[in-house]
A and B are shown apart, each in its own frame.
Chain A
Amino acid sequence: MTLRNLARAGLGFLLLTGLLAGGVHARADEVAAAAPGDILNVSYDVGRELFAEINPVFQAKWKAEKGADVTINQSHGGTSKQARSILEGLQADVVTFNQVTDVQLLHDKGQLIPADWQAKFPNKSSPFYSLPSFLVRAGNPKNIKDWDDLARDDVKVIFPNPKTSGNARYTYLAATAFALDKFGGDQAKATEFVKKIFANVPVFDAGGRAATTTFVERGIGDVLVTFEAEVQGARKEFGADKYDAVTPSLSLLAEFPVAVVESVAAKRGSQDVSTAYLNFLYTPEAQEIIARHAYRATDGTVAKAHAADFPAVKLVTAEDVFGGWEKIAKEHFASGGLLDQAFVNQ
């Protein structure tokens, strides 16, 4: 190649690089400059129907109060996967997760939210709660009543991958809490118990919804362990005559923490609408919708009105049994921790 040709080759190269880089950059600028006519709510997997109903109500309210249109975009998936996407750069204005540790990750790994995020909204930033519960096939042919039954050799259990899904980690913690209660606090026996349950799981989907699909559409497994709200939702969707709900004797209170992703909201100028959106979740109006979707409301009046819909259950909290989320993160969820020891199917 002659010098001249080499120069031309270089010119072509630069031109193309410039075009591509320019295109990407222009797009990035556009995103940054856009008025927050929309916000992105990055959420847990099985919350699709709930937020599909809540969002239009908030949008109407925001329009009435501020005279501005706002669109809430949703992204649903296993919350650990979602948290990692946000750390990778997914531009979430707010998160509505189902596990404290996954929100905490946004602070610990990326400084995207303040350390005191749990103090920003009422009830430790958790507008509603639920608990891991069971969905079995009609008539409960395997006679599954409690966590013990999940460890039986003849039972196939379905729940998502605890590495990617907050839902599945509640299942893990609830089963551990049950075992600790049963074996008088013996952690080694509890790990053994949970290991047996894990061994009964033929497939670990990435999120709670995929697990429901596996159980319902593919007909795999005898029992699906997921949030009470999803158990009722699946029965509503696929027929209460085809599936029965079973509430175990003991379960873990599952918080649904929310946070404004400050760094993104600041960049996009969406703090006001994001904060208003999350505050809206605490209003009686939203709590009513939440209760109708079989989540347990934190608003006293709404909770009372729906009390009949929710069976009584012995609910323990992460603080009671495990000494808080920080400890759980360190002892259970850290790489090589207790979860990894039980979750051998790598």
Chain B
Amino acid sequence: MSGLPSPIGSALVTDLPGPVHHDDDSAPHRQRRIGQRPAVRRSLIGLAAFVGAGFLLLPVVVIFVEALRLGLGPYFEAISESATRHAIWLTVLTAIVVVPVNIGFGICAAWAITRFTFKGKKLLITLIEIPFSISPIVAGVAYLFLYGSQGLLGPLLAAYEVQVMFTVPAIFLVSLFVTSPFVARELIATMQVQGNDYEEAALSLGASGWKTFLLVTLPGMKWGLLYGALLCNARVMGEFGAVSVVSGSIRGQTNTLPLQIELLFNDFSSVGAFAAATILTLLALLSLAGKIWLERQR
């Protein structure tokens, strides 16, 4: 399907005919005969435009207006505050750690699933999609019961003085959980379409497996890979629920940008909260632009 993937699964993603991408440059591909009377047409377009402006665009506009309510000076003061700066850095760091790991996982999963037949494949695909369907809060709580002092591994970790909960690695771990399906899902769809004829040809000509992967598979799946990484990145940077359970919200230490927004909101600092929100919004708009660009490339 075009657009971002569903957070819940088509466990049958391998059965999909691959992503359908409509060509954005063309006009609607075919004039449908019904619904073309000017009155119907105009009112439907008007309604859609109203929904788009009022329901989708307005929330973005309000963020910037609220952030700049007191002018540019207070705005830049708010985003250069040290705790907010640290939150920006931590959010970026989390993405830097999490996205590559999930790319690695995605490649492995897609390789195993699309290049081989084995028993339990459908179950494996469902397992990969589980994090999509679980509420972020449940994910956070689950990690607490694994690594917390009352949790499964808590006592063992405490014996070795390893602290996981309320640290930056805990934020990495829940982010890995929440975003693990994004790259895998895109790659499975892409590599399914790609097929393995070229790889088999390369291998039979004596290329090594690694070389075949680099020179044959990777170029073919490059756009799918970037697309999945983009979606994964957008979600990592914006994750709130799961991170809020495991982070401990220490200013300047374990506060990511979405948590910092909540904190500033509770500090009566409306401009600060909205200023921090503008940064995430700009990142979201960047993701959207990247997505449109990637769809053109494919």
Q: Which chain B residues (239-257) contact chain A, with CB distance < 8 Å?
A: 248-253
Contacts of A209 in B (CB 8 A): 266-267
Q: Which B residues, 150 to 165, have Cβ-Cβ distances below 8 Å to chain A?
A: 150, 158, 161-165
B168 adjacent to A40 (CB under 8 Å): no
* Neighbour of B162 across the interface among A24, A40, A48, CB < 8 A: A24
For A23, list chain B residues within 8 Å (CB).
169, 172
Q: Which residues of A contact B251 (CB under 8 A)?
A: 73-75
Question: Is A25 an interface residue, CB under 8 A from the partner?
Answer: yes
B80: interface (CB < 8 Å): no
B167 contact from A31, A48, A75, A267, Cβ within 8 A: A31
Q: B148 within 8 Å of A by Cβ?
A: yes
Q: Which residue of B144, B166, B169, B252 contacts A24 across the interface (Cβ within 8 Å)?
A: B169
B149 within 8 A of A: yes
Q: Considering the complex, which residues of chain A in the window 1-48 have a beta carbon less than 8 Å from any beta carbon of chain B?
A: 1, 12, 23-25, 27-28, 31-32, 40, 48
Q: State whether the Cβ of A77 lies closer than 8 Å to any Cβ in chain B.
A: yes
Instruction: Tell me, yes or no, whether B210 is within 8 Å of chain A by CB.
Output: no
Flag if A90 contacts B169 (CB, 8 Å). Answer: no
CB neighbours of A213 from chain B (8 A)? 265-266, 268
Q: Which residues of chain B from 87 to 119 have any CB-CB distance to chain A below 8 Å in the complex? A: 108, 118
With A and B bound together, what is the CA distance between A91 and B163 in angstroms?
A: 9
The interface on chain B, measured as residues whose beta carbon lies within 8 A of the other chain's beta carbons, has a size of: 27
Q: Which residues of B contact A210 (CB under 8 A)?
A: 266
The answer to whether B158 and A75 have CB atoms under 8 Å apart is: no
Chain B residue contacts of A237, Cβ below 8 A: 268
Q: Is A73 a contact partner of B252 (Cβ separation < 8 A)?
A: yes
Instruction: Report yes or no: B253 in contact with A89, Cβ–Cβ below 8 A.
Output: no
Q: Which residues of A contact B118 (CB under 8 A)?
A: 1
Cβ-based interface call for A345 (8 A) = no
Residue numbers in A under 8 Å from B249 (CB-CB): 75, 77
> Which of B166, B169, B248 lies at the interface centre, i.e. has the most chain A CB atoms within 10 A of its CB?
B248
Bound-state CA distance A338–B162 (Å) is 38
Also in contact, A27 and B250, with CB within 8 A (given A89-B158, A213-B266): no
Indicate whether A87 reaches chain B with its CB closer than 8 angstroms: yes
Please measure, in the bound complex, the distance between the C-alpha atom of A25 and the C-alpha atom of B161, giving whole angstroms.
9
- In the bound complex, do residue A28 and residue B162 qualify as a contact, i.e. CB atoms below 8 Å apart? yes
Task: Give bound CA distance, A213 to B169, whole Å.
Answer: 32
- With an 8 Å Cβ cutoff, the count of chain A residues facing the other chain is 28
Q: Indicate if the CB atoms of B252 and A71 lie closer than 8 Å.
A: yes
In the complex, what residue of chain A is closest to B86 when comparing beta carbons? Answer: A73
**32-66 of chain A: CB within 8 A of chain B:** 32, 40, 48
Q: A88 an interface residue at 8 Å Cβ cutoff? A: yes
- Number of residue pairs spanning A and B whose beta carbons lie under 8 angstroms apart: 64
Query: What is the distance, in angstroms, from B97's C-beta to the closest C-beta of chain A?
Result: 9
Q: In the complex where A32-B161, A85-B248, A210-B266 touch, is A27 in contact with B253 (Cβ < 8 A)?
A: no
- Taking a contact as CB atoms under 8 Å apart, the answer to whether B166 and A27 are in contact is no
Residues in chain B near residue A40, CB distance under 8 A: 250, 253
Q: Is the CB of A88 within 8 A of B149?
A: yes
Q: A95 to B148: give the CA distance in the assembly, Å.
A: 21
Q: Is the CB of A28 within 8 A of B163?
A: yes
Specify the main secondary structure of chain A where it touches its partner: helix
Chain B residues with CB under 8 Å of A75's CB are: 248-251
- Mark contacts of A231-253 with chain B using CB atoms, 8 A cut-off: 1 yes-contact digit, 0 otherwise: 00000011000000000000000
Q: Give, as a whole number of angstroms, the nearest-CB distance from A3 to chain B.
A: 16
Within the complex, which residue of B166, B169, B172 is in contact with A89, where a contact is CB–CB below 8 Å?
Answer: B166
Given known contacts A75-B248, A89-B158, A89-B163, A27 and B148 CB-to-CB distance under 8 angstroms: no
Contact B168 A90 (CB under 8 A): no
- A238 neighbours in B (Cβ, 8 Å): 268
Determine the distance from Cα of A40 to Cα of B84 in the docked complex, in whole angstroms.
17
Q: How far is the CA of A91 from the CA of B265 in the complex (A)?
A: 25
Known contacts A73-B252, A75-B248, A77-B249; A24 and B164 CB within 8 A of each other: yes
A25–B252 Cα gap in the complex (Å)? 21
CB distance from B74 to the nearest CB of A (A): 16
* A27:B167 contact, CB within 8 angstroms: yes
Is the pair A90, B166 in contact by a Cβ cutoff of 8 Å?
Answer: yes
Give the docked Cα–Cα distance between A77 and B262 (Å): 13
Write the nearest CB–CB distance from A160 to chain B, whole angstroms. Answer: 12
A27 to B147, CA, bound (A): 15
Contact B267–A90 (Cβ < 8 Å)? no
B218-254 contacts to A (CB < 8 Å) = 248-253
Cα–Cα, bound, A74→B266 (Å): 14
8 A Cβ contacts from A216-243 to B: 237-238
Q: When chains A and B are docked, how far (Å) is the Cα of A90 from the Cα of B246?
A: 10
Q: How far is the CA of A48 from the CA of B148 in the complex (A)?
A: 27
In the assembled complex, the CB of A40 is this many whole angstroms from the nearest CB of chain B, namely: 6
In the assembled complex, the CB of A314 is this many whole angstroms from the nearest CB of chain B, namely 31
Q: What chain A residues lie within 8 Å of B267 (beta carbons)? A: 48, 209
- Kindly list chain A residues whose C-beta atoms are within 8 Å of the C-beta of B108: 12
Q: Is the CB of A88 within 8 A of B166?
A: yes
Interface string of A199-220 (1 = CB under 8 A from B): 0000000000110010000000
A48 to B251, CA, bound (A): 11
Contact with A along B30-54 (1 / 0, CB 8 A): 0000000000000000000000000
Q: Which residue of chain A lies nearest to B163 when distances are taken between CB atoms in the complex? A: A89
A-B contact pairs, 16 of them (CB 8 A): A23-B169, A24-B162, A32-B161, A73-B251, A75-B248, A85-B248, A87-B149, A88-B149, A89-B163, A89-B166, A90-B165, A90-B166, A91-B166, A209-B266, A213-B265, A213-B268
Residues of chain A at the chain B interface (Cβ within 8 Å): 1, 12, 23-25, 27-28, 31-32, 40, 48, 71, 73-75, 77, 85, 87-91, 209-210, 213, 237-238, 267
The 10 closest A-B pairs by CB, nearest first: A90-B166, A75-B250, A28-B162, A89-B163, A24-B169, A27-B169, A88-B149, A90-B248, A73-B252, A209-B266
